[in-house]
Amino acid sequence: MGIRPTSEKFPLLLVLNPNAGKKTGQDQLTKIIQPALNKAGIPFRLVETTAKGFAQTYFKENIQQILVDLVQSIAVPEQQEGGGGGDGAGTTATTTTTTGPPEIVLKIMVVGGDGTTHEVINGVLQGIHGSDSTSSFVNDNFRPKIQLSIIPTGTGNAIATSQGVTTTQAALDRFLAGKSVPLRVVQVSQRDKSHTNDNSSNDITHGVWKPLVYTAVVNSLGLHCSTVFDAEGYRSLGNTRFKVSALKNIVFLKQYQARVDLFGPVQKYDRSLNQLVASDNTTITTTTTTSQEHPSTTLLGPFTYLMLTKQSSLEPGFVPTPFANTSDEWLDILAVQNVGRGQILEILGDATKEGRHVQQHEKVEYFKAKVVEIETPTKGRLCVDGEFLDVAAGSEGRVRFEVISDPNIQLFHLIV
Ligand SMILES: Nc1ncnc2c1ncn2[C@@H]1O[C@H](COP(=O)(O)OP(=O)(O)OP(=O)(O)O)[C@@H](O)[C@H]1O
C-alpha cells in the first residue's frame, strides 16, 4: 500500500506578532486576513506571540511534532479516492510526484516584520537540527519545504519589501496565487575552541566553525549596526526611533576598525561598466590572515558602513544593496570605508534613489561573495538581523558568514 497525498487538511500556521511595527497586526488579522482565508476555505492555526523569543521557542519545541502531524494528515491509503493533491493556494499542501514520495510543504504565514520571521527561521532550524547537527530530523528521505508568507506589519519589512510587497492585501494576493522561490539564509559562525579539525594543534584557527545564528536580511558593522543598537534605547519614540538613532550616530560619526575577507569567487561592481564583473582576485597581503583559506579579496577598513545582505531593500524606499537576491547563492556586500559626515549622508540619501549611491560614489564598494569573514582588532559588535553579536578582539572573535547550500538547512521558500 503506497502513500498518496491528500491535502487541504493541515492548517496554515499563522504567526502573529501583535506588537510588530505600529501594532496593527491584530487589526489586520481580524479585518482583512481572516475574512480572506475564510473566503478561500483555508483553515489556520493561530500562534500569537506574547514576547520576544516566543516564536523561536515555539518552533524550536514544536516543529518536529508539527511535521509529523503534517505527514500523518496527508498519508492515506492509496485506494482511498478523493481529496486529491495539489499545491494551490491555502492550507499546507503536497504535490504528487510520480517518481518519489510526495513533497511535504508546511505553510507558515508571518504577520509581523523581519524580526519575527528571523525567529521563525531560527526556531525551525534549531528544532530540526537540535544541538547535534549530525542527527538532523531532515535528510534525503524526509526533506520538507517550509513555505513562508509574510504579511508586512513590521517596521522595515525588508523581506517583503524586497519582493515589492508593502501591503497586507498584496501579501494575501501573492499567498493565494501560491508562487514561491527559495529563501536562502546565511549561516553565521564562530570557531569552536573545544573542537579542532587538526589534533596536532589547538590553535584557534583550526577550530571547527560552529553556527551561532541564521540570518535572512542583513548583517552589519559600523553605522548601521550602532544605529540599530542605539534605537533600542529610544523605543518609547515608536518607529521614529531609528531616525533619531541614525542622526545621533551620524553626528557622532565613528570609524570602525575591521578586516573583511571575501573567499572563493567574488564579483565586484565596476562603475565604468555599470555592472558586476568577476573580480580579478586581488588579495591584499599587507597583513597576515588568520583563516586557513586564502581570501580572494580583503578590505582593511576602517569602515564607516558595512553590510552583508540577502535583501535588496531594508525598508520601503531604502535600497542599499540593489543587486541582492533572496534566492541566489551570493551575499551582497556594501562597504564604505573611512568617509565623513557629509559623504555618508549623501551616500545614504542616494541609496533611496534606485542605486545611485553604487553608481556614483567612489567611496561605495559593492561585492558579491559566498563566504565572508570579519574580525576586529579590538572587541567589536556585529548586527545579525537585528540581534547583536559582541565579538572578541582578533582571530578569536572572527565571524564567518556563509550562504547556505546544504539542503538540510535550505528548507525555506518565500511566497512571492
Ligand atoms: N508579543 C511580542 N511582544 C513584544 N515583542 C515581541 C512580541 N513578539 C515578537 N516580539 C519581538 O519583537 C521584535 C520586533 O518584531 P518584528 O521584527 O516582527 O517587527 P519590527 O521590528 O517592527 O519590524 P522589522 O524587523 O521588519 O523592522 C522582534 O525582535 C520579536 O522578537
ipTM confidence: 0.98
* Residue having the nearest C-alpha atom to atom 4 of ligand 1: 51
Q: Which of 19, 46, 54, 239 for a ligand 1 pocket mutation test, highest count of atoms within 8 Å of Cβ?
A: 19
Compute the distance from residue 45 Cα to the ligand 1 centre, in Å: 20
The pLDDT value recorded for residue 174 is 98
The pLDDT value recorded for residue 99 is 58
Q: How far is CA 378 from CA 194, 257, 259, 301, 370, in A?
A: 23, 8, 11, 13, 26
* Average pLDDT by stretches of 10, the chain with 416 residues: 48 97 96 98 97 98 95 67 42 54 89 98 93 71 94 96 97 97 97 64 66 97 97 86 93 98 97 91 44 85 97 96 97 98 96 94 97 98 97 97 93 97
The pLDDT value recorded for residue 203 is 47
The pLDDT value recorded for residue 7 is 46
The pLDDT value recorded for residue 205 is 59
The pLDDT value recorded for residue 139 is 85
The pLDDT value recorded for residue 76 is 61
Compute the distance from residue 107 Cα to the ligand 1 centre, in Å: 20
Compute the distance from residue 215 Cα to the ligand 1 centre, in Å: 15
Compute the distance from residue 189 Cα to the ligand 1 centre, in Å: 24
The pLDDT value recorded for residue 77 is 54
* Residue having the nearest C-alpha atom to atom 20 of ligand 1: 154
Looking at ligand 1, which atom is closest to the CA of residue 158? Answer: 26
What are the residue boundaries of the structural domains of the chain, listed by start? Answer: 3-178, 187-403
Q: What is the pTM of this model?
A: 0.90
Compute the distance from residue 154 Cα to the ligand 1 centre, in Å: 7
CATH number of 187-403: 2.60.200.40
Superfamily of domain 3-178: Probable inorganic polyphosphate/atp-NAD kinase; domain 1 (3.40.50.10330)
Compute the distance from residue 163 Cα to the ligand 1 centre, in Å: 20
Compute the distance from residue 155 Cα to the ligand 1 centre, in Å: 9
Ligand 1 pocket residues where CB is under 6 Å = 17-21, 49-52, 54, 112-116, 119, 154-157, 386
Q: Which of 22, 50, 52, 235 for a ligand 1 pocket mutation test, highest count of atoms within 8 Å of Cβ?
A: 52
- What span, in angstroms and rounded, lies between the C-alpha atoms of 161 and 180? 15
Q: How far is CA 95 from CA 84, 87, 103, 106, 324, in A?
A: 9, 6, 6, 12, 30
